[in-house]
């Protein structure tokens, strides 16, 4: 029985695609191994969104190629965004790989693996719309948490983004399909459901002719066993009172808003093909906090976008100081070929882009530290995720932290702690985004 070692790179949406491929392979008789050196096949699901992601993907491919040349792994199958984006070059330039699958060909994974096990080469680049979004999955996340992808692709057309070219336009799943999958996940023991898409707030517009995220969340919230429902990637101009009312209505919908605003300067946003300005963004965030006082707001920013002057950057920095985001990620602008922004005048130097990103990071570290210290003395409901044997403490997350991107809560307990269960932790200290406490 052939063994497959999976490497899933990039975002959680890519992870869902990896899980669908693993389920198909398992049904075909393959087994999954956590050890590369005993694998007959290494499956690398790549990201190709920005330069850093491409570099990470190539590093993994070359590392596995070295192991293959040393006889430590069998065959290499490369799938996903990098493969789709550079399909004409990658097949020629990486002969060590035995198979290549584009973003429309994930469900050809069994054919690909069958072929390479016979010593054959395999390549498939079906149209992007051929990507199956309603297939069963083999979860790779902890048993108590799972992602659920409600749509594939994106139709927003932001000037800096290559996603539509890699993944195609938005294609929403039906409400019934999503609810059915969520019910199955809850029945299997999933307690935290994380709703994802490239733009969750656009969900349903292509399929139903109107935004349907509020309707979907209303139904998901009624599923027994789902303690936390977390929604990621909400575009600011599409957050309305109907959506906020659903958050307010259901206790199990976490008041955690991941809003990738990218910038606050009207001139830059217009060039990005995004709407809004500093005033409208500040008003939206104030409205969310007024409607849901315990809300946590995360954002993503781009520093050094083409045409961003020192004045524009200072406006962005002032905006951050005024809004005081609970969570913030910042990226130096990545010039991506075949995007509108790549050909714009006013390109900022690499050194200056990185400097601006670092300034934002330092400012956010100060804000995050203050916000964390404000929680000292508070009691938080925490889901236990493991034990740090070096620090000899347990760790987990509250409603305020999404997995992988936010800080952790470290805590001690005199009694037994079970992974995947919820506990009340009293916070007694803080450091950056990490909190420390104990169970009484």
Residues 264 and 270: beta-carbon distance below 8 Å? no
Query: Over 90: is that where the pLDDT of 236 sits?
Result: yes
Q: What is the pLDDT of residues 81-90, one digit of tens each?
A: 999 998 888 8
Among 33-37, 101-105, 346-350, 368-372, the range scoring the smallest mean pLDDT is: 33-37
Query: Over 80: is that where the pLDDT of 284 sits?
Result: yes
- Measured CA distances, 289 to 44, 114, 326, 407 (Å): 41, 53, 11, 21
CB neighbour list of residue 246: distance below 8 Å, 6 or more residues apart: 214, 217, 218, 221, 253
Q: How confident is the model at residue 55 (pLDDT cuts 50, 70, 90)?
A: confident
Same domain, residue pair 36 and 82: yes
Same domain, residue pair 74 and 151: no
Q: Determine the pLDDT at residue 238.
A: 96
Query: Over 80: is that where the pLDDT of 268 sits?
Result: yes
CATH number, domain of 425, equals: 2.40.50.140
Q: Is residue 138 part of a domain?
A: no
pTM tops 0.85, yes or no: yes
Residues facing 153 on adjacent strands: none
Q: What is the pLDDT of residues 69-82, one digit of tens each?
A: 888 889 999 999 99
Query: Over 90: is that where the pLDDT of 95 sits?
Result: no
Q: Determine the pLDDT at residue 161.
A: 93
Q: How confident is the model at residue 67 (pLDDT cuts 50, 70, 90)?
A: confident
Residues 196 and 147: beta-carbon distance below 8 Å? yes
Q: What DSSP assignment string belongs to 139-150?
A: --S-TTEEEEE-
Same domain, residue pair 300 and 332: yes
Q: Which is higher by pLDDT, 58 or 378? A: 378
Distance CA 145, CA 139 (A): 9
Q: Is residue 240 part of a domain?
A: yes
Same domain, residue pair 202 and 221: yes
- Measured CA distances, 90 to 43, 86, 102, 114, 334 (Å): 16, 6, 11, 21, 21
Q: Determine the pLDDT at residue 133.
A: 82
Of the residues 347, 372, 397, the one at which a domain ends: 372
Q: Is 370 left (phi over 0), alpha (psi -120 to 50) or beta?
A: alpha
Same domain, residue pair 38 and 97: yes
State mean pLDDT over 12-35. Answer: 94
CB-facing half-sphere around the CA of 349: CA atoms within 13 A: 4
State mean pLDDT over 340-369. Answer: 96
For residue 336 the two structure tokens come to 């991506």
Give the dihedral sign, CA 230/233/235/238. Answer: negative
Same domain, residue pair 329 and 296: yes
Gyration radius from the chain CA atoms: 22
Same domain, residue pair 164 and 207: yes
Domain extent for 70:
3-130
Same domain, residue pair 423 and 328: no
Distance CA 79, CA 41 (A): 13
Distance CA 364, CA 361 (A): 5
State mean pLDDT over 330-334. Answer: 95
Of the residues 372, 396, 421, the one at which a domain ends: 372
Q: What average pLDDT does the structure give for the chain?
A: 94
Q: What is the pLDDT of residues 358-371, one digit of tens each?
A: 999 999 999 999 99
Same domain, residue pair 211 and 71: no
State mean pLDDT over 413-439. Answer: 95
Q: Determine the pLDDT at residue 94.
A: 86
Q: Determine the pLDDT at residue 52.
A: 84
Taking 3-state DSSP, the helix, strand and coil percentages for the chain, each rounded to the nearest 5, stand at 40, 25, 40
Q: How confident is the model at residue 212 (pLDDT cuts 50, 70, 90)?
A: very high
Q: Is residue 95 part of a domain?
A: yes
Of the residues 353, 372, 391, the one at which a domain ends: 372
Total tally of structural domains belonging to the chain: 3
Q: Is residue 136 part of a domain?
A: no
Q: How confident is the model at residue 229 (pLDDT cuts 50, 70, 90)?
A: very high
Q: How confident is the model at residue 130 (pLDDT cuts 50, 70, 90)?
A: confident
CATH number, domain of 169, equals: 3.80.30.20
Residues facing 148 on adjacent strands: 195
State mean pLDDT over 391-397. Answer: 95
CATH number, domain of 28, equals: 3.40.50.12160
Residues facing 264 on adjacent strands: none
- Structure-token match 């059915």, residue found: 180
Q: Is residue 140 part of a domain?
A: no
Same domain, residue pair 300 and 269: yes
Q: Is residue 33 part of a domain?
A: yes
Q: How confident is the model at residue 129 (pLDDT cuts 50, 70, 90)?
A: confident
Distance CA 286, CA 268 (A): 22
Q: Determine the pLDDT at residue 359.
A: 98
Same domain, residue pair 72 and 187: no
Q: Is residue 135 part of a domain?
A: no
Q: Is residue 397 part of a domain?
A: yes
CB-facing half-sphere around the CA of 314: CA atoms within 13 A: 3
Query: Over 80: is that where the pLDDT of 264 sits?
Result: yes
Helix (H, G, I), strand (E, B) or coil at 83: helix
Burial class, 414, CB count within 10 angstroms (exposed 0-12 / middle 13-18 / buried 19+):
exposed
Same domain, residue pair 363 and 299: yes
Residues facing 427 on adjacent strands: 437
State mean pLDDT over 181-189. Answer: 97
- Percent share of the chain, pLDDT over 90: 84
């Amino acid at each position: 029985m052939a063994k497959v070692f999976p490497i899933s790179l990039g975002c959680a949406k890519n992870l869902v695609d990896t899980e669908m491929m693993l389920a198909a392979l398992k049904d075909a008789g393959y087994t999954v191994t956590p050890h590369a050196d005993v694998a007959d096949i290494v499956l690398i699901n790549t990201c190709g969104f920005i330069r850093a992601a491409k570099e990470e993907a190539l590093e993994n491919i070359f590392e596995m190629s070295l192991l293959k040349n040393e006889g430590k792994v069998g065959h290499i199958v490369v799938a996903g965004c990098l493969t789709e984006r550079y399909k004409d070059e990658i097949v020629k330039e990486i002969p060590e790989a035995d198979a290549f699958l584009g973003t429309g060909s994930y469900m050809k994974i069994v054919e690909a693996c069958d072929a390479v096990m016979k010593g054959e080469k395999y390549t498939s680049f079906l149209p992007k719309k051929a990507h199956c979004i309603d297939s069963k999955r083999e979860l790779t996340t902890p048993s108590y948490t799972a992602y659920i992808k409600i749509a594939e692709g994106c139709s927003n057309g932001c000037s800096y983004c290559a996603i539509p070219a890699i993944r195609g336009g938005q294609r929403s799943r039906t409400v019934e399909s999503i609810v059915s999958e969520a019910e199955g996940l809850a029945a299997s023991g999933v307690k935290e459901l994380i709703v994802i898409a490239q733009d969750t707030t656009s969900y349903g517009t292509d399929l139903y002719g109107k935004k349907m995220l509020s309707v979907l969340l209303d139904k998901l919230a009624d599923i027994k066993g789902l303690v936390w429902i977390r929604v990621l990637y909400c575009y600011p101009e599409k957050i309305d009172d109907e959506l906020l009312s659903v958050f307010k209505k259901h206790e199990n919908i976490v008041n955690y808003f991941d809003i990738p605003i990218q910038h606050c300067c009207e001139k830059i946003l217009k060039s990005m093909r995004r709407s809004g300005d500093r005033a409208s963004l500040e008003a939206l965030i104030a409205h969310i906090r007024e409607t849901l006082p315990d809300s946590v707001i995360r954002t993503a920013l781009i520093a050094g976008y083409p045409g961003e002057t020192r004045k524009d950057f200072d406006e962005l920095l002032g905006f951050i100081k005024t809004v005081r985001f609970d969570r913030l990620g910042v990226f130096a602008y990545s010039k991506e070929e075949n995007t509108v922004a790549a050909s714009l005048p006013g390109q900022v130097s690499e050194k200056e882009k990185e400097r601006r990103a670092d300034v934002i990071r330092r400012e956010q570290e100060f804000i995050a530290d203050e916000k964390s210290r404000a929680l000292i003395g508070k009691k938080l409901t925490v889901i236990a995720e493991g034990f740090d044997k070096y620090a000899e403490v347990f760790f987990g997350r509250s409603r305020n932290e999404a997995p992988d991107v936010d800080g952790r809560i470290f805590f001690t307990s005199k009694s037994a702690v079970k992974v995947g269960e919820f506990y009340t932790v009293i916070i007694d200290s803080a450091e950056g985004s990490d909190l420390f406490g104990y169970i009484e």
